[in-house]
Amino acid sequence: VSKEIGKRNVVVFDESHVEGFVNKVQLESDIRTGLKKKEFILVYQPKIDLKTETVYGYEALIRWNKKGRDMIPPNDFIPFAEETGLIIPLGKYVLRKACKQAVEWIKMGVVFRTVSVNISPAELEQNDFFQNIQLILKETGLPAHYLELEVTENVLMKNIERLTNVLIDLKELGIKIAMDDFGSGFSNFRYLSDLPIHTLKMDRMFMNRIVENRDEVIVESIIRIGHSLGLEVVAEGVETKEVIDFLKLHDCHSVQGFYYSKPLHAEEIPNFKL
CB 228 within 8 A of CB 207: no
Helix (H, G, I), strand (E, B) or coil at 111: coil
* Distance between start and end Cα atoms, the chain: 31
Among residues 269, 234, 267, the alpha carbon closest in space to that of 252 is found at 234
- Quick check: 266 binds ligand C2E (CB under 6 A)? no
> From the list 133, 181, 222, 234, which residue makes contact with ligand C2E (rule: CB under 6 A)?
181
Binding mask 79-98 for ligand C2E (x = CB under 6 A): ------------x--x----
Pick what 154 binds: ligand C2E, Mg ion, none; C-beta below 5 to 8 Å, kind-dependent: none
Q: For residue 223, which amino acid is it?
A: I
Q: Which does 153 bind (CB under 5 to 8 A by kind): Mg ion, ligand C2E, none?
A: none
Q: Are 40 and 65 in contact (CB under 8 A)?
A: yes
| Binding partner of 258, given Mg ion, ligand C2E, none, CB within 5-8 angstroms per partner class | ligand C2E
If binding is defined by CB under 6 A, does position 153 make contact with ligand C2E?
no
Classify burial at 200, counting beta carbons within 10 Å of its beta carbon; exposed 0-12, middle 13-18, buried 19 or more: buried
Cβ contact 184:205 at 8 Å: yes
Answer with the entry of ligand C2E, Mg ion, none that 239 interacts with (C-beta below 5 to 8 A by kind). Answer: ligand C2E
Contact call for residue 78 and ligand C2E (CB under 6 A): yes
Kindly tell me which residue out of 18, 142, 238, 247 binds ligand C2E, with binding defined by CB under 6 A.
238
Q: How far is the CB of 261 from ligand C2E (least distance, A)?
A: 9
Please, what is the minimum distance in Å from the beta carbon of residue 26 to Mg ion? 27
| List of residues 6+ apart from 46 with CB closer than 8 A | 55, 57, 58, 256, 260, 261, 264, 272, 274
Stretch that binds Mg ion, among 90-98, 137-145, 149-157, 240-248 (CB under 5 A): 149-157
Phi, psi of 178 (to 5 degrees): -110, 140
Give the residue, chosen from 9, 101, 114, 120, that forms a contact with ligand C2E under the rule CB under 6 A. Answer: 120
Can you state the angle between helices 87-108 and 24-36, rounded to 10 degrees? 30
- Binding site residues, ligand C2E, CB under 6 A: 8, 45, 61-62, 73-75, 78, 91, 94, 118, 120, 150, 180-181, 204, 236-239, 256-258, 263
- Binding site residues, Mg ion, CB under 5 A: 118, 150, 180-181, 236
